[in-house]
Amino acid sequence: MPELPEVETVRRGLAAVMEGRPIVNVLVRRGDLRRPLPEGFAAALTGRTVIAIDRRAKYLLFRLDDGTVVIAHLGMSGSMVIEQAVDSQAPDAFPDPNMAGGKHEHIVFSVGNGTQIRFSDPRRFGLMDLATEETLADHPLLASIGPEPLEESFDGAALAARLTGKRTPIKSALLDQRIVAGLGNIYVCEALFAAALSPRRSAHTVQGGRADRLLRSIKSVLLAAIEAGGSTLRDHVAPSGEIGYFQHNFQVYGREDEPCPSCAQPIHRLVQAGRSTFFCSRCQR
């Protein structure tokens, strides 16, 4: 499933071609994704201008000029690919939205200047919903999500406070979106290695210097991954169609039995809450 860096990569790509432009047409080929699209979804968007595209955790937020907000989640296999005007001399000449884009292409957004955004989702675990600026914070998908890890105000002390009293392993705690937003399996494994903390360590013991070290590692890993366009292991592509490259920088994730880059001891894998965890038992305590 796309994690924060992949969603941020998608956000940046879409913002470059959608912000400040009207939505000319919305073609819905299939309305039953992880949940049904809201009634009147296409009509609510058509004719509206995209003011901004933001991200909250792993969700994309399309803010429109009438106060409507589209909440989108890519699920496990979703992608949004940009298709430019068919004629550079006639920028309003849109590609035919009905043109076959594969059986998994469910929604096509045509925006001003002849650009289309084609949403595909083979597994249909993605979703789109509607909210307003007034109701957004209380929306069931967003209401319980914790702070953004890249916010300047989120420091080691704030992380330590959210881990106080948590007796679950630190790996599991960091995957809990109520504690920190947007973190997933890949980047938690990488951040714990960078911070030299065992994924089995009880979360409540990550205080003081440990919390400071962990948060620095989280921020560093996420920023590096965003710079690399995220990680493409299976489905992730940027809206431009390019893949991410951070998978070439993995220190531990997916490297079971390979030598630790710090001490050369074989990297271990264990299963926590149904997810594979990769770590070095010598370097991480």
Q: What are the pLDDT digits (tens) for 172-185?
A: 999 999 999 999 99
As to burial, measured by CB atoms within 10 angstroms (0-12 exposed, 13-18 middle, 19+ buried), residue 98 is exposed
Rounded to an integer, what distance in angstroms lies between the CA atom of residue 116 and that of residue 95?
7
Rounded to an integer, what distance in angstroms lies between the CA atom of residue 271 and that of residue 285?
17
Is the pLDDT at 234 greater than 70, yes or no?
no
Q: What are the pLDDT digits (tens) for 152-202?
A: 999 999 999 999 999 999 999 999 999 999 999 999 999 999 999 999 999
* Residue 270, token pair as written in the block: 């264990």
- Give start and end residues of each alpha helix (H) in 63-207: 156-163, 170-175, 185-194
Domain borders along the chain are: 4-138, 156-279
Fold exhibited by the domain 156-279: Helicase, Ruva Protein; domain 3 (1.10.8)
Which H or E run contains 11? helix 4-18
Rounded to an integer, what distance in angstroms lies between the CA atom of residue 14 and that of residue 74?
13
Q: How many CB atoms lie within 10 A of CB 88?
A: 9
Mean pLDDT of 38-49: 97
pLDDT at 271: 97
Q: Where in the sequence numbering do the catalytic residues fall?
A: 2-3, 58, 275
Rounded percentage of the chain residues whose pLDDT exceeds 90: 80
Quote the mean pLDDT of the chain: 92
The listed CATH number (3.20.190.10, 2.60.40.10, 3.40.50.620, 3.10.580.10) that belongs to domain 4-138: 3.20.190.10
Is the entire prediction scored with pTM above 0.85?
Answer: yes
